[in-house]
């Protein structure tokens, strides 16, 4: 690989994989719960459901209770299987953002449904076949933050048509130039969680990508249906991981510290890329910089690889992203600090 052959070693900005240690408070909780010979609860322990509901109240301004939350095996499995779990199938339509995380479309394909890529629901037309609408704010890969007014219109549009709105909010705690708002916020959903689900993850907030720790919150009736199917499908978060999630959700100190690490890395990378002639678009929040040199993304990938820097090509996220690349904030401080010097290489 071209980037890996660089004499200074590879700087991998292509994936949002955490590199910082799992906080001690979480590792301790995992170890203390290791003696778990029985089957765990698919619904999550009472302590976990309470911890999720309390965190959602703090972070999203929502008043969901333990009946409206459900732990998941990370967020990716829920994103991939949600259409199927909701009974979406052939003849149905799933709406996804025009530039988006590929798993939204993969999930629709698994269910046999049709995918429509659009950021404007007026483009969908009057069809009643829409069963699920995905929104993602802060967005991956763009870091775009959707205003509450936009999210509110999406919720209203979907409710009028009997569709579900699923909001991928895995980067909600990482607002930089804008403050993201949850679909569960009263200013978006009007205080009613009918037909609304929010998907969250502890992978980035708490460095728990290896634990596969996520959850969904929102409409209690939808959550109950998901729980019923997930019990039979064996989609169960292991008991020690559930205990670790409780510790992670109750402790904000480690999350604040990690957020500041990402803020510092973002500042360093943003200055380095703009200094090298790149333009940063969106990127108001989240774990990535959305970059362009006004050329085909593969030319940009090659230019950076020759300097030992690996990024993700925009075309991975949709045909409208061919002139962009995505750079993650998840390398070590040492590697991040060396990006500017490499970008200055002829």
Architecture of domain 3-21+254-343: Alpha-Beta Complex (3.90)
Query: How far apart (Å, rounded) are the C-alpha atoms in residues 327 and 314?
Result: 10
Residues of the chain with CATH 3.40.640.10: 35-250
Mean of pLDDT values over 107-112: 97
- 94 φ, ψ (degrees, to nearest 5): -115, 125
> Phi, psi (5° rounding) for residue 197?
-130, 140
Residue 346: per-residue pLDDT: 75
CA 154 from chain centre, in angstroms, equals 19
Judged by phi (left if over 0) then psi (alpha if -120 to 50, else beta), residue 73 lies in: beta
Q: Where along the chain do the CATH 3.90.1150.10 domains lie?
A: 3-21+254-343
User: If you search the block for the tokens 């292991």, which residue do you land on?
Assistant: 238
**CA separation for the pair 52, 34 (Å, rounded):** 21
Quick one: pLDDT band at residue 106, thresholds 50, 70, 90?
very high
For 35-250, CATH number out of 3.40.50.1220, 3.40.50.720, 3.40.640.10, 3.90.1310.10 equals 3.40.640.10
pLDDT of residue 2: 84
pLDDT digits 0-9 by tens, 39-92: 999 999 999 999 999 999 999 999 988 889 999 999 999 999 999 999 999 999
- Residue located via tokens 């993650």: 328
Question: Which among 67, 328, 14 is positioned nearest to 222, based on CA atoms?
Answer: 67
**What value does the mean pLDDT of the chain take?**
95
Q: Stretch 309-313: mean pLDDT, rounded?
A: 98
| pLDDT for 292 | 98
Mean pLDDT of 170-187: 96
Q: What is the mean pLDDT of residues 204-214?
A: 97
pLDDT digits (tens, 9 = 90+) for 189-199: 999 999 999 99
Residues contacting residue 318 through CB under 8 Å, at least 6 positions apart: 97, 98, 99, 100, 117
pLDDT at 128: 77
Pick the more confident residue, 126 or 27: 27
Of the candidates 196, 130, 132, 129, the residue with the CA atom closest to the CA atom of residue 169: 196
């Amino acid at each position: 690989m071209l980037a890996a052959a660089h004499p200074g070693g590879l700087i991998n900005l292509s994936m949002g994989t955490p590199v910082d240690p799992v906080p001690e408070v979480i590792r301790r909780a995992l170890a203390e719960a290791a003696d778990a010979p029985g089957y765990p609860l698919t619904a999550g322990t009472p302590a976990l459901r309470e911890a999720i509901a309390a965190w959602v109240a703090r972070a999203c301004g929502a008043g969901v209770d333990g009946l409206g939350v459900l732990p998941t095996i990370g967020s990716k499995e829920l994103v991939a299987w949600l259409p199927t779990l909701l009974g979406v199938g052939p003849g149905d339509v799933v709406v996804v953002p025009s530039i988006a995380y590929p798993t939204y479309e993969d999930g629709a394909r698994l269910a046999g449904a049709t995918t429509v890529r659009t950021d404007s629901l007026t483009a969908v037309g009057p069809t009643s076949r829409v069963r699920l609408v995905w929104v993602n704010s802060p967005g991956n890969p763009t870091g775009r933050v959707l205003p509450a007014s936009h999210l509110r219109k999406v919720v209203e549009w979907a409710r009028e048509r009997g569709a579900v709105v699923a909001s991928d909010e895995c980067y909600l705690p990482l607002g930089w130039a804008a403050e993201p708002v949850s679909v569960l916020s009263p200013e978006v959903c009007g205080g009613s969680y009918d037909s609304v689900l929010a998907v969250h993850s502890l992978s980035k907030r708490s460095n728990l990508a290896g634990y596969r720790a996520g959850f969904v919150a929102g409409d209690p009736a939808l959550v109950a249906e998901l729980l019923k199917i997930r019990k039979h499908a064996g989609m169960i978060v292991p008991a020690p991981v559930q205990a670790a999630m409780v510790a992670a959700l109750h402790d904000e100190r480690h999350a604040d510290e990690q957020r500041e690490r990402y803020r510092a890395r973002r500042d360093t990378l943003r200055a380095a890329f703009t200094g090298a002639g790149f333009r940063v678009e969106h990127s108001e929040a989240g774990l990535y910089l959305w970059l362009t040199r006004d050329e085909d993304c593969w030319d940009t990938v090659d230019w950076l690889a020759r300097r030992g820097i690996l990024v993700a090509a925009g075309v991975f996220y949709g045909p409208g992203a061919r002139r962009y690349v995505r750079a993650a904030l998840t390398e070590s401080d040492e590697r991040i600090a060396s990006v500017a010097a490499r970008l200055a290489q002829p």
